[in-house]
Chains A and B, each alone.
Chain A
Amino acid sequence: MADNTTPTREPARRVFATELNDATFTFKESEDDRAPVYVLLPTGEQANRVFVVGTLTETEDVGRDQEYWQGRVVDPTGTAFVYAGQYQPEAAGALRELETPTYVAVVGKPRTYETDDGTVNVSIRPESITVVDESARSRWVTEAAERTLDRLGALDSEGNEYGVRAQEEYDVDPSVYQSAVVEALESLDELDAEAEPAEDLSSGP
């Protein structure tokens, strides 16, 4: 419910890249120019901020007259695109300076833009990009999995207006996001399996 007297900050949604890239439908809750822009997640939730952790694999200055940095942040399901220019000086600085590959955490606003051929692309306009370690990355994968399952579980719940809207706006079968969750978690398990034998040798009976 909108409360105009005390704007409350909304949680940063945990969204896998595959779902974020599908979230091409945007809307505002009010006519006010300053009202936040939301993307509608296909799993049925509004997002005006996202938190993603993944591997920054490439950075590139794609600006013409001024620096405009693109970063590719890869999670087990796909690649999220991050763009930072003069209005995000700290994030742009991070993209300029970071060595790739490295694990990063990105807090930012989801944004959509339409290409010349009419395709709508989704990207993140970062508020911060920071280097994190692998533990944060795997914690995020598990957390994003949980939150995605939460959303899927509530998709058809009574009174979930965003669930209804998502199913109206998007053609995608939501079960693809469930499969993405399974794949993402399995990729973590494989990492664990690789790490385990060494532990077994060191531990006695």
Chain B
Amino acid sequence: MSDIQTAARDIHEEFTDHLDIDLEDVSARLERLVSEYKVPLSEARRSVENHYLDEAGLERDDLASGSEEEVSIADVNQPEQWISLTAQVVDLWNPRSDAVGQVGLLGDETGTIKFTAWAKSDLETLEEGSVYRLENVVTDEYQGRYSVKLNKTTEITEVEDEIEVGDDDSTMDGALVDIQSGSGLIKRCPVEGCTRVLQNGRCSEHGDVEGEFDLRIKGVLDDGKSVQEVIFDHEMTEALTGIDIETAKEMAQDALDTTVVADEMEETVLGRYYRVTGPVMGRYLLANEVEELTEPVDPDDVLIQARSM
């Protein structure tokens, strides 16, 4: 069933008690917005729902039956929504703190999204490669990038489905040619929802604060034809450099200087070739996966081309 049909059925179900609603009519309205007017499905859905709400003389709250929506990963575009997902565990990373039980990447046909499961929620352990229906997860946003948090109320059901994980992601191969300032061991503002990177212990919004350590790399990937700025978050920085936050803190303590961390990272990664995958937000590619390209490349095709010129 197409996403539009699924959404049409959901809407039909929502209104069937309130209106004499025709499934085909719902479907046609969605189809028109999505196909003809290139409206994202989530927006199309909102718009079509509004139409029927008007028709039925209802408010949106009248509909909410308390059960959260099953959504596609690509449609996650607001923080603090309670949703359900059916997704495959694409990747598992090392949790950065004891508070985190599991952290990694979920994927469905529409894309991938980071997930975090709190240790205290005491949830079933997710296996890499398995597909789960996850009910009651909460969306979150951090620097333009969405994630979902599994919590105490999350119901996890393994399903036998196979999912062909789609990507709205970009992949780029290239050499890492620069690491920009503000990389390495950094401190962020601890004020709820702020997370700005501190400059000399100051947040541009909240002034002097006791910062929280984080790892990050803002780098430039370059394939000789184009350049792409890439942000490696905590997990990806660790994957890229092999330096975890404890090691980074020790390095900084020994040198009485946090810049030694970025220096060490530069020596480890600059001038090497990587394949980086992730969504593009504005000018940045937000790395979800990174792999050093060390396989030999076959020069024969290029050689044939060179000889034939």
Where the two chains meet, the residues of A that have a C-beta atom closer than 8 Å to any C-beta of B are: 8-14, 49, 51, 53, 90, 104-107, 127-133, 135-136, 138-147, 149-150, 152-153, 178, 181-182, 185-186, 188-189, 192
Contacts and interface: CB of A to CB of B under 8 A. Distances in A.
Contacts of A146: 302
A59 B267 CA distance: 18
A152 B271 contact: no
Given A51-B175, A130-B266, A135-B296, 18 more contacts: A9-B227, A11-B226, A51-B224, A105-B272, A106-B271, A107-B270, A127-B178, A128-B178, A129-B271, A130-B272, A136-B271, A136-B273, A138-B296, A142-B302, A145-B299, A145-B302, A153-B309, A189-B303
List 7 A-B pairs, minimum CB-CB distance, nearest first.
A105-B271, A185-B303, A130-B271, A135-B294, A14-B224, A185-B299, A130-B270
A138 B303 CA distance: 13
Contacts of A186: 303
Nearest to A103: B271
A186 B271 CA distance: 24
Contact of A182 (B273, B295, B306): B306
A60 B225 CA distance: 33
5 contacts: A104-B271, A131-B267, A147-B224, A185-B306, A189-B300
| Of A13, A136, A189, most B-chain CB atoms within 10 Å | A136
B7 to A, nearest CB: 38
Interface residues of B, number: 30
Contacts of A149: 302, 305-306, 309
Contacts of B3: none
B222 A11 contact: yes
B263 interface: yes
B276 to A, nearest CB: 15
Contacts of B303: 145, 182, 185-186, 189
A138 B305 CA distance: 18
A136 B273 CA distance: 7
B293 A139 contact: yes
Contact of B177 (A51, A141, A144, A150): A51
| Of B178, B303, B306, most A-chain CB atoms within 10 Å | B306
B38 interface: no
A185 B309 contact: no
Nearest to A143: B224
A188 B299 contact: yes
A72 B4 CA distance: 61
Given A107-B270, A130-B267, A147-B225, A152 B309 contact: yes
| Of B175, B266, B267, most A-chain CB atoms within 10 Å | B175
A127 B222 CA distance: 15
Contacts of B305: 149
Contacts of B220: 9
A145 B306 contact: yes
B80 interface: no
A149 B303 CA distance: 10
Interface in B66-96: none
A5 to B, nearest CB: 14
A24 to B, nearest CB: 22
Contacts of B306: 145, 149, 178, 181-182, 185
A51 B178 contact: no
Contacts of A8: 227
A133 B268 CA distance: 11
